[in-house]
Amino acid sequence: MFPPIEPFESGYLAVGDGHQIYWEASGRPDGIPALYLHGGPGSGLTPGYRRLFDPDVFQIVSFDQRGCGRSHPLVTEEGADLSTNTTAHLVADIEALRAHRGVDRWLVTGASWGTTLALAHAQAHPARVTELILFAVTTTTAAEVQWITEAMGNVFPREWDQFASAVERRPGQRLIDAYYDAITDPDPQVRERTAAAWCAWEDVHVSLAPDHRPSPRFEDPQFRQVFATLVIHYWKHAAFTGNRDLHDGVHRLEGIPGVLIHGRLDVSSPLRTAWRLHRAWPGSRLVVADDGHGGEDMAAAVRAAIAEYASRFGDPAGRSGLS
């Protein structure tokens, strides 16, 4: 990993609907533009993402997505409106940030949910993306949501029983819908219990790697509730893609290279998702790491893919990324 660095510039950008997103830029101010999209939804930024990029080469841009991190308002604040927090809104926020930074085209990277958002952005605005580097690949289809929330009980039966019994579920109701009802309940105690149960399940299913450890971030009650609210919201609606999924729009990525990096031990997002996307996307390359949903091998593969991109893109002084 590259040494830790601090942003050279940061701020808030008003993106409409009462939202202000926190953004930051690190590395070289006139460097190759690169966007990083965090996971979750609702994880917010942590400083480690900056260390994937050579700070002498890249202008590294990222932001806390609507409702989480340092963006305002948090999804848990009184009066927060979930109807203004959808994939289409986040894609529009990316475009607003790109214009704000004066970037014409950029490398787009993303982790986990960030891969779903990166694909949605690239399919909506292919002329603005030079390449995609995606790791812990998800596309947030209804089938993927059903796998994590229902079928995963075949892998972790004891833990799933605890997860399923933590909320009231009507006969025939999908578990994700029951969790949505609970996480939006007017009773704050119900919402807190729901968030705790959801995050406990997240820690169970994220990886089959024997050295996997629970996330310390889930010890923070506010983080738990922000994270759980946004994940459940986006999963209930299968990333708001309507009657199609992101695989149907792969043809819009024609001419855009992509590197898909995925862990063989990732049980929450099975390798088949990345494989299916790779098969449909002729310009993609699939790298399989001996990791779960993250890990050292995956991080090394990400750094290698970013470095390879930099070598192909040329010297920063001669690039065409900035408008």
- Positions marked catalytic: 112, 266, 293
158-195 core/surface letters (b: 16 or more CB in 10 A; e: else): ebbeebbebbebeeeebbbebbbbbbeeeeeebbebbb
- Of 53, 55, 73, whose CA–CA distance to 64 is shortest? 73
22-55 core/surface letters (b: 16 or more CB in 10 A; e: else): bbbbbbbeebbbbbbbbbbbbbbbeeebbbbbbb
Helices (H) and strands (E) in the chain, counts: 9, 8
How many Å is the maximal CA-CA distance in the chain? 62
Q: Vertex 18, ends 15 and 20: CA angle to 5°? A: 50
Task: Output helix, strand, coil percentages for the chain, rounded to the nearest 5.
Answer: 45, 20, 35
**Residue 289 phi/psi, 5° resolution?**
-100, 155
Say which residues have a Cβ less than 8 Å from residue 16's Cβ, sequence separation at least 6.
Answer: 84, 92
Q: Which tokens hold the place of 251?
A: 């043809």
**Residue 225 phi/psi, 5° resolution?**
-75, -40
Distance CA 235, CA 222 (A): 20
Residue type, 80: A
Contact predicate 194/185, CB 8 Å: yes
